[in-house]
């Protein structure tokens, strides 16, 4: 199951034909056409060298992806070749880091049609002049990822449309992930120098005829932002002319905290705090999967079943909250819809509490398995889980009555906040957002892990591309998750008593080989949650990078909201279901 590359490749090949079927069913012709073009999964290093020719300076072997090293001024050429000719249409993540003798930007590429086919494009730059070409012209999503790299590591990107700091304030001095960055130097910035969001008012020159627009700050404290997000909006009447997200208010150096912790135990509590809205176990799994593949740790099947079950419970809890808060945005505060969603979420959490001892910050997964078995008496726990599952159909019916079948809600959400499939891919959107745009992409099926490929379930897609489709996808995914949990509970009930191994034998201290690199992702509640780890030969990671689905999804907000009314901007933001803890990390 884990780190077994030949098997994965086989799976991928078998799967890609399946994908084509499903995708045509779902009506995503683009996806189907691409799948057809790529008959064999798994692009090898030789393929890449043949395709890229002289561009390749050197090659690297990352744990589950071949890597090519290219010149910093050929980024766009190489990436567009890979995108156009090889079908790598998904720029999953950009990781920047400093080595002793160079800076490096690593572009992790995937295919929406087959995410097991991965490539890492490594762009080294000199430490004296860390300048490299921007990929934003090829992939829209590179915009934010490169801004983050610039902000934290200080790599300059030529041709970047808008190279500003993204997580730290404009006035920050220095780039904190550089080796020569002085942490103890106080950041003294006078109030006058600091950006004052209240000062900017009417933008646009009356003489140019632009004075009809109004600049409006939505957030950082606003009921619709679901946390501390700041939207800089330009309005024409009630219509949104321009919207730009200002993030970073909740930046807590999660990546750097993980770099301080040892692989075995000290990192696992952190993932609970990324997407802190009850998706904890899904996040833990992202770290567990990456670290297990990095250190070649096997996970017993029994533990995989428990992981699958508990992760899906988290998904239900998370989707319930997403629907509730979406209803909040459409209905108004504290309406029955919101409270009922919270009530269902509480029920899911109660089951999770029985299992893990916690309602939100679980810290339940361990490398090589889970912390403990189902609580004794087992029958009682299984009973609790079944009770929750039995109540769920009634709850989802209620939601369909209150939300999806409500004509007023349909009036509000259908054909608003439209995100076309191509735009969606360009922005690297994943999860329910992508699936609501007809993109048949779910890592649980396409890049199987855990126990998912042994179970019966479907990937939900909708072709609406609008706010309504995103709501509907979440609603139906809850039903699918319940189906998965149901099968897991049955399996756990009948699992032979002498075979209940919850953790494999893991060395007390893990020290993966120096310069071993891995980028691994799981299907989180909001989409593809990926972890990049570079080992440096010690028991802590040399570089730990989180690919947050919310970060990429949020980037697509302007594409959805420009030209719409303020209420639809709010609805579109709600339908993205972002958690600022994960956006800002």
Partner 1 sequence: MTGAGTALAAVGAATTFLQTDGNGEGTESVTLLPEWIADVLGLGGDGGIAVGALIGAFAIASLMLIQAALAGPWLKRKIAAAFWGKLGPNRMGPGGILIIVADSIRMLSKELIVPEGADRPAWDLAPLIVAGPAMLGFAVIPFGEIGGVQIQLADPDIGLVLVFAIASVTSVGFVMGGYASSNKYSMLGSLRAVAQNVAYEIPLILAAGSVVIFAGSLQLSEIVAAQGETLVGPIPSWYALVNPFAFVLFLVANLAEVGRNPFDIPEAPTEIVAGYQTEYSSVYFVLIYLGEFLHIFLGGAIAAVVFLGGGAGPVLPGPIWILVKMWAFFVFTQWARQTFPRVRIDQLIEIGWKGLLVLAFANLILTAVLVGVLEGDVDVALAAVQVIGA
Which residues make up the interface to partner 1 (CB under 8 A)?
214, 216, 222-224, 238, 327-337, 339-340, 343, 402, 406, 408-409, 411-412, 565-568, 570
User: What is the nearest approach in angstroms of partner 1 to the Cβ of residue 239?
Assistant: 9
Nearest Cα neighbor of 86 from 136, 29, 41, 134 is 41
Decide whether 378 or 412 has the Cβ nearer to partner 1. Answer: 412
Nearest Cα neighbor of 65 from 102, 39, 95 is 95
User: What is the nearest approach in angstroms of partner 1 to the Cβ of residue 402?
Assistant: 7
Backbone angles phi, psi at 364, to 5 degrees: -110, -30
3-state SS of 336-378 is HHHHHHHHHHHHHHHHHHHHHCCCCCCCCEECCEECCCCCCCH
Decide whether 50 or 414 has the Cβ nearer to partner 1. Answer: 414
User: What is the nearest approach in angstroms of partner 1 to the Cβ of residue 406?
Assistant: 6
132 close to 154: Cβ distance less than 8 angstroms? no
The crossing angle, in degrees rounded to 10, of helices 5-26 and 29-37 is: 140
Decide whether 306 or 330 has the Cβ nearer to partner 1. Answer: 330
Decide whether 101 or 333 has the Cβ nearer to partner 1. Answer: 333
Give the tokens for residue 447.
Answer: 């890049």
User: What is the nearest approach in angstroms of partner 1 to the Cβ of residue 574?
Assistant: 8
User: What is the nearest approach in angstroms of partner 1 to the Cβ of residue 573?
Assistant: 10
User: What is the nearest approach in angstroms of partner 1 to the Cβ of residue 468?
Assistant: 12
Q: 396 to each of 80, 344, 455, how far by Cα in Å?
A: 44, 9, 22
Backbone angles phi, psi at 328, to 5 degrees: -60, -40
Decide whether 23 or 578 has the Cβ nearer to partner 1. Answer: 578
Decide whether 216 or 361 has the Cβ nearer to partner 1. Answer: 216
What gap in Å lies between CA 327 and CA 345, rounded to an integer? Answer: 15
Decide whether 324 or 541 has the Cβ nearer to partner 1. Answer: 324
Nearest Cα neighbor of 115 from 12, 200, 25 is 12
Q: What is the Cα 450 distance to its own chain's centre? A: 18
User: What is the nearest approach in angstroms of partner 1 to the Cβ of residue 433?
Assistant: 20
Decide whether 32 or 218 has the Cβ nearer to partner 1. Answer: 218
Q: 85 to each of 80, 147, 244, 422, how far by Cα in Å?
A: 8, 27, 32, 17
Decide whether 240 or 455 has the Cβ nearer to partner 1. Answer: 240
Nearest Cα neighbor of 485 from 366, 294, 319, 272 is 319
What is the DSSP annotation of 231-263? EEEEEETTEEEEEEEE--TT---HHHHHHHS-T
Decide whether 144 or 388 has the Cβ nearer to partner 1. Answer: 388
User: What is the nearest approach in angstroms of partner 1 to the Cβ of residue 331?
Assistant: 5
What gap in Å lies between CA 363 and CA 310, rounded to an integer? Answer: 12
User: What is the nearest approach in angstroms of partner 1 to the Cβ of residue 475?
Assistant: 15
User: What is the nearest approach in angstroms of partner 1 to the Cβ of residue 364?
Assistant: 30
């Amino acid at each position: 199951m884990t780190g077994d590359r030949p098997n994965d490749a086989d799976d991928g090949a078998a799967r890609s034909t399946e994908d084509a079927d499903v995708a045509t069913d779902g009506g995503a012709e683009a996806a189907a056409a691409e799948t057809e073009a790529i008959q064999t999964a798994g692009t090898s290093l030789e393929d890449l060298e043949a395709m890229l020719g002289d561009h390749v300076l050197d090659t690297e072997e990352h744990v589950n992806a071949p890597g090519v090293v290219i010149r910093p001024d050929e980024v766009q050429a190489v990436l567009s070749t890979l995108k156009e000719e090889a079908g790598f249409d998904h720029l999953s993540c950009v990781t920047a880091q400093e080595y002793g003798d160079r800076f490096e930007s690593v572009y992790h590429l995937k295919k929406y049609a087959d995410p097991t086919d991965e490539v890492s494009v490594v762009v080294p730059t000199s430490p004296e002049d860390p300048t490299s070409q921007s990929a934003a012209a090829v992939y829209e999503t590179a915009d934010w990822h490169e801004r983050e790299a610039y902000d934290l590591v200080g790599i300059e990107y030529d041709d970047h449309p808008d190279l500003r700091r993204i997580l730290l304030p404009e006035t920050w001095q220095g780039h904190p992930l550089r080796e020569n960055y002085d942490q103890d130097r106080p950041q003294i910035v006078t109030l006058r120098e600091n950006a004052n969001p209240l000062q900017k008012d009417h933008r646009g020159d009356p003489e140019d005829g632009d004075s009809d627009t109004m600049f409006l700050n939505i957030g950082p404290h606003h009921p619709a932002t679901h946390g501390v997000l700041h939207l800089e909006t330009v309005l024409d009447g009630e219509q949104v002319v321009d919207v730009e997200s200002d993030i970073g208010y909740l930046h807590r150096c999660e990546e750097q905290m993980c770099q301080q912790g040892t692989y075995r135990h000290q990192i696992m509590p952190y993932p609970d705090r990324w997407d802190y809205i009850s998706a904890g176990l899904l996040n833990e799994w992202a770290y567990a999967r990456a670290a297990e593949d990095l250190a070649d740790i096997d996970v017993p099947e029994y533990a995989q079943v428990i992981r699958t079950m508990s992760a899906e419970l988290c998904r239900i809890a998370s989707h319930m909250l997403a629907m509730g808060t979406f209803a909040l945005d459409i209905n108004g505060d504290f309406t029955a819809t919101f409270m009922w969603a919270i009530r269902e979420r509480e029920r899911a959490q109660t089951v999770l509490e029985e299992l893990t001892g916690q309602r939100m910050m679980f810290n339940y997964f361990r490398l090589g398995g889970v912390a403990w078995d189902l609580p004794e008496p087992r029958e009682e726990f299984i009973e609790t889980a079944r009770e929750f599952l039995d109540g769920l159909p009634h709850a989802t019916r209620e939601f369909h009555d209150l939300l999806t079948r409500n004509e007023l809600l349909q009036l509000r959400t259908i054909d608003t906040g439209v995100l076309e499939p191509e735009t969606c891919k360009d922005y690297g959107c994943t999860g329910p957002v992508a699936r609501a745009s007809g993109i048949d992409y779910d890592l649980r099926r396409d890049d199987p892990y855990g126990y998912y490929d042994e179970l019966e379930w479907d990937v939900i897609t909708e072709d609406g591309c609008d706010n309504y489709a995103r709501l509907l996808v979440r609603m139906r995914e809850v039903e699918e998750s319940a189906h998965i949990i149901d099968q897991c509970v049955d399996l756990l009930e009948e699992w032979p008593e002498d075979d209940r191994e919850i953790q494999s034998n893991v060395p007390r201290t893990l020290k993966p080989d120096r310069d071993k690199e891995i980028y691994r992702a799981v299907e989180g509640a909001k989409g593809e949650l990926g972890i990049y780890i570079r080992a440096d030969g010690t028991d802590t990671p040399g570089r730990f990078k989180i690919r947050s689905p919310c970060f990429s999804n949020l980037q697509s907000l302007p594409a959805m909201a420009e030209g719409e009314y303020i209420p639809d901007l709010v609805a579109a933001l709600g339908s993205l279901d972002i958690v600022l803890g994960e956006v800002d990390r």
